[in-house]
Structure 1
Amino acid sequence: MSDLPKLTIAAARDALRKGEVTSVELTEACLAAIDGAEALGAFVHRTPELALERARAADERLKAGGAPDLCGIPLGIKDLFCTEGVPSQAASRILEGFRPEYESTVTAQLRDAGAVMLGKLNMDEFAMGSSNETSVYGPVVNPWKVDDRQLTPGGSSGGSAAAVAADLCLGATGTDTGGSIRQPAAFTGIAGLKPTYGRCSRWGIVAFASSLDQAGPMAKDVRDCAILLKAMAGHDPKDSTSADLPVPDFEAALTGDIRGKTIGIPREYRMDGMPEEIEALWAEGRQMLEDAGARIVDISLPHTKYALPTYYVIAPAEASSNLARYDGVRYGHRAKLAQGDGIVDMYEKTRAEGFGAEVKRRVMVGTYVLSAGFYDAYYNRARKVRALIKKDFDDAFAEGVDAILTPATPSAAFGLGEMAEADPVQMYLNDVFTVTVNLAGLPGISVPAGVDRAGLPLGLQLIGRPWEEADLLSTAYALERAAGFVSKPRKWW
């Protein structure tokens, strides 16, 4: 098989501009790689005809000169993004057969930049999950394998992470509500960036928790994330939470010069029972940044311990509200009704059949915390704690901290089925290092930085100031260069 899908976006862009390869050749190589990777379960709706049509158009545009950076680059799109005429199911049975008549703003911007959509990528149902096991399509399998187990690629953007790590596409879109870009990126040895809330439009992305959801890039390295983010970001009048701010040239900001920068190490992220390998990697990351010229300071984020319970009140509350629209009336799955059934029966049967167990669990939790007797006790209190968590970060940045270094995950990838059968709370603990970033609306990036003793990838997370993704990416670039992570999964699929 061709080695073309192994190219980074930056390398492919340069090769396309020099005429060393065409977008059609690159796209055909990726489509062949996808055809040979059924065992991973990453792509769930393939669009080969559309991909080749866009690739031919990209080649014409490249010949004319002056094409954007992403022109001709084959990408995978998470199934949460609505794509015109292409199934967009959010990995749920309740949206079976739904083909939107419109395109999400983010995917429209990528299309207009000349990017080639290879198809839609698997994910946890409605983005609710940390292991990609709640999908109606079945689980995604991590391309990394060290024993006879099948490992999770993380969630909810597990299909995006697996596809990039396995060289099925050059980059992918993800969404991050509580770590759904950064955790899968860490589990699969790729880079994943969650931008500041409002940097990328949410219009046309199936909503999970509207005050937390944010689209972002997943790619083979930090430079590719910067290239992708430039095309994905920007103000959108159709999204009232989209920020009307100029989009910088993120790639041009990648100097990797962090001399004089101040990096904070939060003492509250030293969790009881943290694996020694994660602790050691964190210490190595701290040393790498110090060697690159940064000043390392210990900081306190005192409300961190309340982050998970706060998140698991706010996110389900918003989910129960957002998912009320899936009722079998206008689109998607509708249950078969018995004679005499009324509209309430239709709602109940449709939702019972259409939603999976984890989605039902969160809808019920969310409905409970929003109910009349519990609204103040749970939801309002969680909102107040969220404000305190944000203030912790604001205070750290006000004291001169430029970025914060933490682990990305509390472990390396675990086996499929190992946590799903256990207490759901155990699965929720996977988000322990990531949810604070969503609650505070900050940008965060996971950078592959090492492997555990079994040979599985581990990531480090950098958290930046709001709207300063360019600065954050440059710091991440310095960390990436220092870590020198070049491991790839051995092909077994």
Structure 2
Amino acid sequence: MSANSWTIAAARAALRKGDISAVDLTMSCLTAIDAADGLNAFVHKTPDIALDQARAADARIAAGGAPSLCGIPLGIKDLFATKGVPTQAASNILKGFKPEYESTVTTKLFGDGAVMLGKLNMDEFAMGSSNESACYGPVVSPWKVDSRQLTPGGSSGGSAAAVAADLCLAATGTDTGGSIRQPAAFTGIVGIKPTYGRVSRWGIVAFASSLDQAGPMTKSVRDAAIFLGSMAGHDPKDSTSADLAVPDFEAALTGDIRGKKIGIPREYRLDGIPAEIDALWQKGIEMMRDAGAEIVDISLPHTKYALPAYYVVAPAEASSNLARYDGVRYGHRATLAQGDGITEMYEKTRAEGFGAEVQRRVMVGTYVLSAGFYDAYYNRARKVRALIKRDFELAFAAGIDAILTPATPSSAFGLGEMASADPVEMYLNDVFTVTVNLAGLPGVSVPVGLDAKGLPLGLQLIGKPWEEGDLLNHAYVLERAAGFVSKPAKWW
């Protein structure tokens, strides 16, 4: 078993015992990355930075008392600002942009001795569920069951593919409507979206500021707990960051959920849900019951309004956030004709720089914020959002400890299969995940089984705000009961 296929926990133990050096572990990953160009997961490789960080990590481990992530090679999603390294958010409009500063998340990771292998592909500005809107071209899932190339999900598709293919030990992702949990489910890995405000958003390219949240994508629940402990924490540079102590998430993994109440929302039993997803959900319910949890049917009555509300709020915030990309101060600027003024510069730069999906969402967002439509759409969506949040608050107030749902409405689909269809078809991929972002709650996707074609399927657990430790413990129980160990067979 090559070192790049290890979990963070296994690598941490090997590094501490001196069985391997951080440099050798990093080289194992760099070799795997170079052999996996066909997956298109890593789009900016940083081998020199990685080896410098690995050498520093070895010295720190030798001195004793190094943090858990010291010497662990990671992939970083392309919207985390990394000083002197391209940060494009997979968009042509940011081509050539190299920040002069480091995001809070990467600052914390590097402070704990983590190693950056490079930047990972994603949907442009994190808008998408299939990683097909990137300026770098689509990511290919390492899972292959027929002649098709499959999507790894999105927007954190590069992160999911890289972790599933053992190109890195773990990766950062971001989740605005399911962009950590859906790709994790599609590729058979663990992904957690923390409570809104648990992880700083400073230095992360914004999509929808009231929904975006960064989190870890890992090979196990224990790894997610270790990684989240390093990413989380208060940041005065982010006004929405919570000033709360970060508990020891790994220590919360007791594996004991006896007497806990697991809610099963009846509104998530959708018409037309594939029998395999329903059967998997039922299997998950039995696993939790066998572990001593009490299963409780609950109602989240406003669930059916979640997708429409999300696709008003998110594009509205996107149209506001993306107004800064205009060709004036940084990023791409279009070549102008004689006599062109500032308006033509804005129009041509954005037409050239933004892809079709980003243009679509900016136009929708600008429309719902415009005079005459603001109350009809945006204000109404904000009210619906408050009702969705209240549904969850009432469930938790009634004693529910965690909520179990499917993570996705299907297993991974083929690249190109949905792109030509109605965009709303693609948006339906987020049907089980967007409620969690609208309510600001923590949610985790855990791989639980394979479908008839041999592709991974995941279940989602939703937790109380700020109770990521408790949520991860429920996920740990589900992970152990499911015993999911399948890996994609190497074909790339």
User: How large is the RMSD of aligned CA atoms in angstroms?
Assistant: 0.4
> Quick check: 1:441 aligned with 2:440?
yes
Greater than 6 Å deviation, 4+ residue runs = none
Could you tell me which residue of structure 2 aligns to residue 224 of structure 1? 223
**1:337 and 2:339 aligned:** no
1:17 equivalent in structure 2: 16
2:396 — aligned with what? 397
Looking at structure 1, the residues matched to 296 and 214 of structure 2 have their Cα atoms a distance apart, in angstroms, of 31
Task: Give the corresponding residue for 2:50.
Answer: 51
Letter in 2 for 1:271: L
CA distance in 2: counterparts of 1:236 and 1:284, whole angstroms: 40
CA distance in 2, matches of 1:153, 1:321: 29
Secondary structure of 2:252's aligned partner: coil
Identity %, equivalent residues: 81
Number of the residue aligned with 2:140: 141
- Mapping of 1:29-40 within 5 angstroms? 29-40=28-39
Match of 1:66 in 2: 65
Distance 1:79 1:195 in 2: 19
**2:106 equivalent to 1:107:** yes
In structure 2, distance between residues paired with 1:112 and 1:421: 44
Corresponding residue of 1:268 = 267
Structure 2: runs of 5+ lacking an equivalent: none
* SS of 1:167 mapped into structure 2: coil
1:492 aligns with 2:491: yes
Instruction: Name 1:347's counterpart in structure 2.
Output: 346
Q: For residue 259 of structure 1, what is the aligned residue in structure 2?
A: 258
Whole-angstrom distance in 2 between the partners of 1:256 and 1:244: 28
CA distance in 2, matches of 1:337, 1:363: 23
SS in 2 for 1:293: coil
For residues 255 and 125 of structure 2, the distance between their equivalents in structure 1, rounded to whole angstroms, comes to 36
CA distance in 2, matches of 1:90, 1:145: 27
User: Which residue matches 2:283?
Assistant: 284
Secondary structure of 1:58's counterpart equals helix
Instruction: Give the letter for the 1:419 counterpart.
Output: M
**For residues 204 and 47 of structure 2, what CA distance do their matches in structure 1 show?**
22
1:370 aligns with 2:369: yes
What secondary structure is seen at the aligned counterpart in 1 of 2:263?
strand
**Letter matched to residue 408 of structure 2:** T
Shift of 1:256: 1.1
User: 1:107 & 1:402 partners in 2: Cα distance?
Assistant: 32
> How far off its partner does 1:398 sit?
0.3
CA distance in 1, matches of 2:110, 2:343: 41
Shift of residue 289, structure 1, vs aligned partner: 0.2
Other structure's SS at 1:302 match: coil
Measure the CA separation in 2 of the matches of 1:457 and 1:326. 38
Equivalences for residues 289-438 of structure 1 within 5 A: 289-438=288-437
CA separation in 2, counterparts of 1:247 and 1:448? 26
Q: Tell me the CA shift for residue 36 of structure 1.
A: 0.0
Equivalent in the alignment of 1:235: 234
TM-score when normalising by structure 1? 1.00
Alignment deviations for residues 251-300 of structure 1 (CA, whole Å, 9 cap, x no partner): 01100100010000000000000000000000000000000000000000
> 1:250 maps to what in 2?
249
**CA distance in 2 between partners of 1:133 and 1:191 (Å):** 22
Gaps of 5+ in 1: none
Q: Which residue of 2 aligns with 1:178?
A: 177
Cα deviation, residue 413, structure 1: 0.1
Shift of 1:241: 0.1
TM norm structure 2: 1.00
Query: Alpha-carbon deviation of 1:201?
Result: 0.1
Deviation of 1:95 (Å): 0.1
In 2, Cα distance between the equivalents of 1:248 and 1:420?
Answer: 42
Q: Distance in 1 between matches of 2:414 and 2:106?
A: 32
Partner residue in 2 for 1:125: 124
CA distance in 2, matches of 1:69, 1:192: 19
Distance 1:396 1:297 in 2: 10
Shift of 1:237: 0.1
* Superposition map of 1:455-474 within 5 A: 455-474=454-473
Write the letter of the residue equivalent to 1:431.
Answer: D
State the 1:57 CA deviation. 0.3
1:416-468 deviation line (CA, Å, top 9, x unaligned): 00001100000000000000000000000000000000000000000000000
Alpha-carbon distance in 2 for matches of 1:40, 1:109: 28
SS of 1:336's partner is coil
Q: Distance in 2 between matches of 1:272 and 1:471?
A: 31
1:6 aligns with 5
